[in-house]
Amino acid sequence: MVCQAEVEEEQSKDKFGIDMINYLTDEDKNPIFIECDINLREVFESHRDNMIESYGDKIHENVLKKTYNVEYKNCLDDLVPIYEKALQKIFVTQGDDKLEMASWIYVQKPDKQYNKFHKHSHIMPSPKFCTVTYFDVPQDGGEFCFKYQGEEYIIDVKEDLLYLFPNWLEHKPMPHQGEETRICLNVDFFTKNKFLFKEFDHYW
């Protein structure tokens, strides 16, 4: 069964400039998927051509390894302060372990798409949680699909939104039609710290 998932809205704004945070919760009211507004447009514009070129150079080798993302470190310095603001809005951090980030790109075209379910918990060491943001979102397709308790849910993704989810969540990109080049930036967070939700009695 495939469901169209609507993320519950919890709007707020504070000194970090994050205007909106939405949560999708499970039956116990624990968040399993989050979206918040984030402005990465300037970062994206400065890296777009290089992202597409880097992906084209490396994807054939990665596909042979059954990996459909390509590591892309060039934007990390630009991303760190922006992502830190978002995390401080959502979480209270417990622990003094260093927070490390790894970034990947997935470039999808109508004639070249890898739409397979996968999760990030197999990575060693495993990330604490995962994030994704999108650029050049196509008009027809290209949604985010994830599995939870035997059902599939589809999120209509938008630009200028950051999506967060735990490392065990199986997910895949949906295919799209048209001429657009859908660019997906994945950033995984690695740390031994606990991230307590400010709005929930729950942590990742």
Q: DSSP assignment of 129-141, as one string?
A: EEEEEEES--SSB
Residue among 86, 80, 82, 130 at smallest CA distance from 106: 130
Cα–Cα distances (Å) from 108 to 150, 176, 202, in that order, read: 26, 8, 34
CA atoms within 13 A on the CB side of 145: 17
Task: State the fold for domain 2-197.
Answer: Jelly Rolls (2.60.120)
Q: 149-203, pLDDT tens digit by residue?
A: 999 999 999 998 999 999 999 999 999 988 889 999 999 999 999 999 999 999 9
**What number is the average pLDDT over the span 46-75?**
92
Q: 68-120, pLDDT tens digit by residue?
A: 899 999 999 999 999 999 999 999 999 999 999 999 999 999 888 989 999 88
pLDDT above 90: residue 65: no
Q: In what order do the strands lie in the sheet with 151-155?
A: 2-4, 151-155, 144-148, 171-173
Extents of the domains making up the chain: 2-197
CB-based burial, 77-116: b 16+ in 10 Å, e otherwise: eebeebbebbbebbbeeeeeeebebbbbbbbbebeebbee
Rounded to two decimals, the pTM is: 0.88
**What number is the average pLDDT over the span 38-50?**
93
pLDDT attached to residue 179: 86
